[in-house]
Structure 1
Amino acid sequence: MRTRTMPSAVIIGTGFGGLGMAMELLRHGFDDLVILERAADVGGVWRENTYPGAGCDIPSPLYSYSYAPRSDWPKRFSGQADIHAYLRDVARDHGLLERIRFDSEVTEAEFDDASGTWTVRTADGDEMTTDVLISAVGQLSRPALPAIAGIGSFDGPAFHSAQWDHSVDLTGKRVAVVGTGASAIQFVPAIQPRVAALTLFQRSAAWVLPKPDVEYKPWHHRMFAAVPPVRLAERFAVWALCEFLSLGIADVTAIRGLVTKVAVNHLRKQVADPELRAKLTPDYPAGCKRGLFSNNYYPALTQPNARVETTEITEVVPTGIRTADGVLHEVDVIIYGTGFKGTEFLWPMKIRGANGRELEDEWHGGARAYHGITVPGFPNMFMVYGPNTNLGVGSIVYMIESQARYIRQALETLSRHPARTLDVRRAVAEEYDVKLQARLDRTPWGLCSSWYRNAAGRVTNNWPGAVVSYRLQTRRLRPEHYHLNTGATTAAGR
């Protein structure tokens, strides 16, 4: 049995989670690490989502690392290209590029009970051994297509918004958009002016709030750089507003009423036609799905070349889309804005923990993890942006920094106990999950269909409260909540 003082680590993914995790470890002296990335560039969802109008619905002063601020964001709500450039800059400036193995898609990882190490395998046949395995693949990495009959039969171009086909010129085309989530809210206004006709197939309307965006001028940039407290004040203001709104999800239901009032007023101001307004009015409580921010979505749908179709789709045919009323909507292009497979955490990677237990079996009925970070029976395996750490309101980067600190403390615990593994106690993890689910039952997320819930109805994705409460819960790793094992691990069921 070999001993160690500084455990090695393999991090999977180079989005905000993977890069943030790597920086946290390097800043605290854990430099024996490798980052595996399936693509040829960093960026995660901000590399993949290049659809017109792509951007973030959280202001950049908060949607960025606290220890890697940027004073020259072009706008308060940054676009995809600027966020991707920021991540590239962070990777370069913090010495991460030389630690990344690009074009290395992880297919499986297996824990060895005898050595207390993980073996990680990639699609190209490479294999490596590490003390600690950290997944930072996120929740929004695999596009989801709807289960519609004949979806592959369409004769024209058809693609998901996360796999945008930039070779297709939409100018003068009849375009069908299926889905009304966060991506469609952004790309519909971007493409509407140049298409001949746009038909938006809507299953459920979204709660849309006005977007308080501003374009930063050069004097803003100079001020943010020269007087950091001003930049920090804006970051704090955004954080405080998000915390206030998050209280409405489970604790102060009156806040939902305020959000509803603002959204309804926004819709009334921008859509004069009562029939269209009725179609765009949600039939579920505010907060049930993530609130969206846009100043140009509703105006785009009021244009003569745009139409909202609420009749259920029954099939896709070679010439278009047929709805339940028998009408064939002939189109030239179909764009699916239907989100991601958010409840299939870590899939399709095969993960085997202690005693060969499959993570897929451990998660039968829905993914769960202690603090969304670690799973009993899977020693020295941690997750960034794991189950129940997504946010209905707020910046996921704030959550990622909390998780990275916690995982770093796990490595510090291992470094103080050479040749050991850390495995969360099952009783601790189960008690945590029971309390978490009880809190989730008080939220509106169980009242509508969304990607937050799996097929069994369990909310697997979201954190039910303010981010400060999560940070407080994860501020210190408590060793008594874990098995510290000298080489051999405890059985998965203990």
Structure 2
Amino acid sequence: MRAPRKPSVAVIGAGFGGLGVASVLRRAGFADVTVLERADDVGGVWRDNTYPGAACDVPSSLYSYSFSPNPDWPRRYAGQPDIHAYLRRTVATEGLRVRCGTEVTGATFEDGRWRIETSTGTVTADVLVPAVGQLSRPAIPDIPGTFAGPTFHSARWDHGVDLAGRRIAVIGTGASAVQFVPRIQPRATRVTVFQRSAPYVVPKPDRAYRPWHRHAFERYPLVQQLGRLATWGVGELLTSALTSHRSLARLVDLLFRVHLRRQVPDRALRERLVPDYEIGCKRLLFSNDWYPALTSPNVDVVTEKITELTPTGVRTADGRAHEADVVVYGTGFAATDFLAPMRIRGLEGRELADEWAGGASAYLGLTVPGFPNMFLVYGPNTNLGGNSVIAMLEGQFAYILDVVRRIVPGSGVDVRREAADRFDAEMRERLGRSAWAGCASWYRDDRGRITTNWPGLVREYRRRTARADAADYRLVTTRTPQVEGA
């Protein structure tokens, strides 16, 4: 009798998480791995975010797969087109099977397999890996009123709208706004930036790579690997500053204040650009041109609360009407709406939405009791305030591979409730005494829980996901295993 066949795997999402886990599984000999992607192309956020100036705020040496280094990055901090091209190249070099234009609407675990409902039909697999991430659904604030002109979110940039000579209202001052405002400001007649809370912005040590850099990276891969390691170490320091070592946080705060004072000579404007929260409550941002753009004569920073949209612009709480021709939202993503709007059903038809009624949680951010053979990538409590999320993702890839190797088709492995509850209690306790505990609502879901961020260093997470503990799981047997050639 031949050996049992290896489990089949369906991955949802073709961004860094989905393509990465599919690559790791394929490299380990799992041939039946299919990536389901709702869009017409791969890339995730790096396909969707095409706004002017879109780039990564993590150096390229670390914001890439360790198993697939790229010696051809044109800059230390790669732009959106180059990152998107890298992910497309990954599909080709890793031989991945991606079904684009296939939106997953729901999935049910029955008879030892996952039955996945998509816009193009039903797919079955032994293992389900949702890898839709935390940054796939743009968040648009609910503001009363209606604006008559063009309106769009930075993640859905409308390149058909000519911004030259226009009055542009920018709502939000997050990571995307810090990048696109300096690019649109020179072309616009006026840019009005509506700021709810100022971000901490520090210098971005970017540079263009010269031919000799790329030659060195290709000829001597260790050079790029050392750069990756150094960047990872700096990221760990930043993370510790945001989570535990407040003395480091004070140093970062000093760097921010020196950067602000050097680039913004006007005291009144500087005062408006100082955050009203402790460093760490929101992601630290890197930019060399954000503050110079805000000091331009055609830019106004408004801190009054927005009360309504009018047909011709934006009205604020002081009664002032700010005229605009275009409204652009730089308001981030619905990061706490994990897997929405997909409907996931586990054992005995249990709904994942019911399991998460009190707030999303998953053991190690990866798996949920009652949902066998399902492993999340970039799930609850795996985001970072500093460092590269790719380093977190690669820990998840290794863990998923370790568990999938133990799965026999026709059965399921289900994380034990007590293991998941212990982990959830740990996350609540540690996050409750972290810098994020005192933050307003930026990291909290509708129930007040912090469900996005990891409370420690990447090093700890990689250690804890290096190998799965069999004692944390129970076996769910539902039908006779299939065998190769049967």
TM-score bin (small chain): over 0.9
**Cα shift at 1:87:** 0.4
Does residue 100 of the first structure (1) align with residue 98 of the second (2)?
yes
Q: Secondary structure of the residue that 2:419 maps to in structure 1? A: helix
In 2, are the aligned partners of 1:287 and 1:445 still within 8 Å (CA)?
yes
Structure 2 residue aligned with 1:491: none
Structure 2 residue aligned with 1:15: 15
Does residue 374 of the first structure (1) align with residue 367 of the second (2)?
yes
Structure 2 residue aligned with 1:220: 213
Q: Secondary structure of the residue that 2:186 maps to in structure 1? A: helix
1:315-354, aligned counterparts within 5 Å?
315-354=308-347
**Cα shift at 1:187:** 0.3
Letter in 2 for 1:423: D
Partner residue of 2:451 out of 441, 455, 460:
460
Cα distance between partner residues in 1 of 2:446 and 2:268: 33
Letter in 1 for 2:63: Y
Letter in 2 for 1:130: A
Structure 2 residue aligned with 1:492: none
1:98-247, aligned counterparts within 5 Å?
99-112=97-110, 115-124=111-120, 126-150=121-145, 153-247=146-240
**Cα shift at 1:4:** 4.1
Cα distance between partner residues in 2 of 1:173 and 1:440: 44
Cα distance between partner residues in 2 of 1:312 and 1:452: 21
Where does the alignment leave 5 or more consecutive residues of structure 1 unmatched? 489-494
In 2, are the aligned partners of 1:446 and 1:457 still within 8 Å (CA)?
no
In 2, are the aligned partners of 1:249 and 1:464 still within 8 Å (CA)?
no
In 1, are the aligned partners of 2:281 and 2:442 still within 8 Å (CA)?
no
Letter in 2 for 1:348: P
Cα distance between partner residues in 1 of 2:266 and 2:241: 31
Q: Secondary structure of the residue that 2:107 maps to in structure 1? A: strand
Structure 2 residue aligned with 1:476: 467
In 2, are the aligned partners of 1:249 and 1:465 still within 8 Å (CA)?
no
Q: For residues 30-88 of structure 1, give each alpha carbon's deviation from its aligned partner in whole angstroms, at most 9, with x where no partner exists.
A: 11121101011110000000000001000000000001001111110110000000000
Where does the alignment leave 5 or more consecutive residues of structure 2 unmatched? 480-486
1:404-415, aligned counterparts within 5 Å?
404-415=397-408
Cα RMSD after superposing both structures: 1.1
Letter in 2 for 1:430: D
**Cα shift at 1:368:** 0.3
Does residue 29 of the first structure (1) align with residue 22 of the second (2)?
no
1:421-436, aligned counterparts within 5 Å?
421-436=412-427
Cα distance between partner residues in 1 of 2:24 and 2:272: 47
In 2, are the aligned partners of 1:341 and 1:451 still within 8 Å (CA)?
no
Cα distance between partner residues in 2 of 1:449 and 1:310: 17
Does residue 270 of the first structure (1) align with residue 263 of the second (2)?
yes
Q: For residues 394-435 of structure 1, give each alpha carbon's deviation from its aligned partner in whole angstroms, at most 9, with x where no partner exists.
A: 1111111110110111111114xx532100000100001111
TM-score, normalisation: structure 2: 0.97
Q: For residues 219-268 of structure 1, give each alpha carbon's deviation from its aligned partner in whole angstroms, at most 9, with x where no partner exists.
A: 10001111111111111110000011111223212111111111111101
Name which of structure 1's ranges 165-174 and 249-258 shifts more when overlaid on structure 2: 249-258
Cα distance between partner residues in 2 of 1:167 and 1:251: 46
Q: For residues 304-355 of structure 1, give each alpha carbon's deviation from its aligned partner in whole angstroms, at most 9, with x where no partner exists.
A: 0001000000000101100001111111000000111100000000001111
Letter in 2 for 1:103: G
Q: Secondary structure of the residue that 1:465 maps to in structure 2? A: coil
1:243-258, aligned counterparts within 5 Å?
243-258=236-251
Letter in 1 for 2:36: L
Cα distance between partner residues in 2 of 1:316 and 1:301: 23
Partner residue of 1:311 out of 269, 281, 304:
304
**Cα shift at 1:123:** 2.1
In 2, are the aligned partners of 1:54 and 1:187 still within 8 Å (CA)?
yes
**Cα shift at 1:302:** 0.1
In 2, are the aligned partners of 1:205 and 1:279 still within 8 Å (CA)?
yes
Cα distance between partner residues in 2 of 1:445 and 1:195: 37
TM-score, normalisation: structure 1: 0.95
Letter in 2 for 1:458: R
Letter in 1 for 2:476: N
Cα distance between partner residues in 2 of 1:419 and 1:313: 56
**Cα shift at 1:449:** 3.1
In 2, are the aligned partners of 1:118 and 1:131 still within 8 Å (CA)?
yes
Q: For residues 97-141 of structure 1, give each alpha carbon's deviation from its aligned partner in whole angstroms, at most 9, with x where no partner exists.
A: xx11110000000111xx1111001123x0021111100001100
Letter in 2 for 1:102: C
In 2, are the aligned partners of 1:249 and 1:287 still within 8 Å (CA)?
yes
Letter in 1 for 2:129: I
- Seq. identity, %: 56
Letter in 2 for 1:238: T
Cα distance between partner residues in 2 of 1:319 and 1:346: 36
Cα distance between partner residues in 2 of 1:450 and 1:63: 28
Q: Secondary structure of the residue that 1:469 maps to in structure 2? A: helix
In 2, are the aligned partners of 1:370 and 1:433 still within 8 Å (CA)?
yes
In 2, are the aligned partners of 1:343 and 1:451 still within 8 Å (CA)?
no
Letter in 2 for 1:471: R
Q: Secondary structure of the residue that 2:405 maps to in structure 1? A: helix
Letter in 1 for 2:385: G
In 1, are the aligned partners of 2:133 and 2:377 still within 8 Å (CA)?
yes
Q: Secondary structure of the residue that 1:413 maps to in structure 2? A: coil
Letter in 2 for 1:436: M
Cα distance between partner residues in 1 of 2:56 and 2:378: 17
In 2, are the aligned partners of 1:4 and 1:419 still within 8 Å (CA)?
no
Cα distance between partner residues in 2 of 1:361 and 1:4: 35
Q: Secondary structure of the residue that 2:392 maps to in structure 1? A: helix
Cα distance between partner residues in 2 of 1:396 and 1:46: 14
**Cα shift at 1:448:** 2.3
Cα distance between partner residues in 2 of 1:249 and 1:297: 22
Runs of 4+ in structure 1 deviating by more than 3 angstroms, as ranges, are none
Letter in 1 for 2:85: A
**Cα shift at 1:450:** 4.6
Structure 2 residue aligned with 1:67: 67
Q: For residues 359-393 of structure 1, give each alpha carbon's deviation from its aligned partner in whole angstroms, at most 9, with x where no partner exists.
A: 01100121100000000010111100000101110
Letter in 2 for 1:434: A
